Amino acid sequence: MTSSLYKPLEIGGVRIGGNLFAAPLAGYTDRAFRTVCVDNGADLCYTEMVSCEALVRGSEKTGELLMQADAEEVYAVQVFSGTADSAGRAVAMVAEHKPLLIDLNCGCPVPKIIKSGAGSDLMRDPDRVYDIVRAMKDNTDIPVTVKIRTGWDANSLNYLEVADSAVKAGAAAVTMHARTKKQAYGGVADWSHLKILKQELGDLPVLGSGDLFTAQDVRSMLEETGIDGVMLARGVIGNPFLFREAKHYLTTGELLDPPTPLEKMQTAFRQLELAVHYKDERTAVNEMKKQLCAYTKGLPGSSEARNRMVHSENFATYKEIFREYLESFS
């Protein structure tokens, strides 16, 4: 049974080689991060959330989020919008970049996203979800998917209704983070709702997210819920190795040894180098700080290195810090 848990997926007529995806995470899933995820076995990676409104206005910064990484043979784009009009107009622009899938975010709990009528705000209005997905479908032949939550709060667990609206409008798959908007990222994800959603949607692909931090977690979610695949989010920040660990465990039933401190730091430095390659140096080093802290968490002697990284402002300084820290492992 273990081996059957890792499998190809077909979404909207598009075949994907496996069912371990990297979830879209604002401020994290840029081209550099997605590259190290692909290096470690991610089957499909999503961009950071792309604002339909900003894209339609011609925002250059937003447009850059649509760029595919050199190492990505395929990738997916996630957009957010509060209106069908902006979503329909933006999706035609997104399609020019030829992503494998285009996903609509119906789950982001960040206040500024909700105030725009997007993200989790859509969980309160299934009819609007229908209209937005329909507008997206009308403007591209690329499969459209949705990512939702279980509801706005514990008193409004309406994920079945929202998913039904999305599917009737043409959504080719549904991903659900098994928390409410009210929970944000706190509390515990309730995977039982994923099982109910899969039973309701039948053959339509369903993916799950929420509290996936180990290979055992991935296997447990797939076994307990019967869903088709998973999206790894916070569990792979500073730990893209989780993809290869999960894939190995699902196919062999054996747990891989964790990455050595040396490998973790070499991967962190590769991600930093890629970030500098894809962005201007100052932006790259500043945005990487939070991820470098995640990579070094729990490593021997990392406190001093982490403190220096947080206060560094250029690539040359980072390179020296890495050199000195890596020498401590030899």
Q: Just list the catalytic residues.
A: 108
How far, in Å, CA of 320 to CA of 10, rounded?
Answer: 46
**DSSP letter string over 237-283?**
TT-TTHHHHHHHHHHHS-PPPPPPHHHHHHHHHHHHHHHHHHS-HHH
Q: Are 234 and 209 in contact (CB under 8 A)?
A: no
Q: Are 192 and 222 in contact (CB under 8 A)?
A: no
DSSP bridge pairs for 49: 78
CA distances, 93 to each of 70, 79, 195, 230 (Å): 20, 11, 35, 28
- The 3-state DSSP class for residue 11 equals strand
Q: Within 10 A of 38 (CB to CB), how many other CB atoms are there?
A: 21
Both tokens assigned to 191? 């995977």
| Residues contacting 261, CB < 8 A, separation 6+ | 299, 300, 329
